[in-house]
Amino acid sequence: MCGKIYMLLCCLLCVTWIQASPFEKDSFKTKEGYELSIHFIKHGTLMLTYRDAVIQIDPVSSYADYSKLPKADILLITHEHGDHLDKKAVDQTVKEGTVLIANESSVKILDKGSVMKNGDKLTPADYLTLEAVPAYNTTPGREMYHPKHRDNGYILTLGGMRIYVAGDTEDIPEMATLGDIDIAFIPVNQPYTMTIEQAVNAARMINPRILYPYHYGDTDVTQLKKRLASDKSIDVRIKQLQ
């Protein structure tokens, strides 16, 4: 009985926080009739809520106070750079039962979690199917930032919607084989990820219904929106994620 009361209180606190969230949010109705909300925290850090579940992606404590945010049911780490992997934020985000998934080097650093490698597929919960996809640099002289086969992007399928979180990557050829993508997050900050030109190319390979530039620093991502204005099938949405 005490356990059920505790879970109910956690759910109520989570709902209360979400309703009063300080971050920008977009919400969608999935094919299954549930609401999927995306909370735009900062840089490459996101939070998704679906049904009663909370999915945290690359939490970093300098971007948000994770002691005050809802605990994660699913926690995803793309790679080990400090603007994506933060032990303090991870410790504040996990709870009993949190499923922590990361690339191999991040799991080694944290000394916990489950490894997903490029090409792996997993169903960590009955509401989520997860695919780990490649994320790497291709420009000569930049390969050391994100070497091939090390880091992950993720495709999350929630209620029939496929959401691509690219992680730190350039416009790699694997993007053309991702399949049907409803929502895509594409990083746009040279020299670590993409130029505007590369992001345009990536967007056209992926052809998502909705595209969010993220991890963009001082890059003027309005130029991406202008460059894709003729691509009527892609809705480019700019949020405060710099």
Distance CA 114, CA 107 (A): 7
Is 0.95 surpassed by the pTM of this model?
A: no
Q: Give the pLDDT score at 241.
A: 81
**Dihedral pair phi/psi, residue 35, rounded to 5°:** -90, 130
Q: 3-class DSSP state for residue 4?
A: helix
Contacts of 112 (CB under 8 A, 6+ apart): 100
E strands, the chain, in order = 24-29, 35-42, 45-50, 53-57, 74-77, 99-102, 114-115, 121-125, 128-135, 151-158, 161-165, 183-187, 210-214, 235-236
Distance CA 234, CA 230 (A): 9
| Range 117-131 burial, b when 16+ CB lie within 10 A, else e | ebeeeeebbebbebb
Give the CA-trace dihedral at 29, 200, 103, 50, to 10 degrees: -10
Contact 131, 97 (CB under 8 A): no
Distance CA 204, CA 201 (A): 5
pLDDT tens digits for range 176-217? 999 999 999 999 998 899 999 999 999 999 999 999 999 999
- The fourth-level CATH superfamily of domain 24-236 is Ribonuclease Z/Hydroxyacylglutathione hydrolase-like (3.60.15.10)
Residue count of the chain: 242
Distance CA 200, CA 203 (A): 5
Walk along the chain (242 residues) in steps of 10 and give the mean pLDDT of each run: 49 51 92 96 97 97 96 98 98 98 98 98 98 98 96 98 98 98 96 96 98 95 97 96 68
Contact 79, 168 (CB under 8 A): yes
Q: Give the pLDDT score at 11.
A: 52
Distance CA 27, CA 38 (A): 6
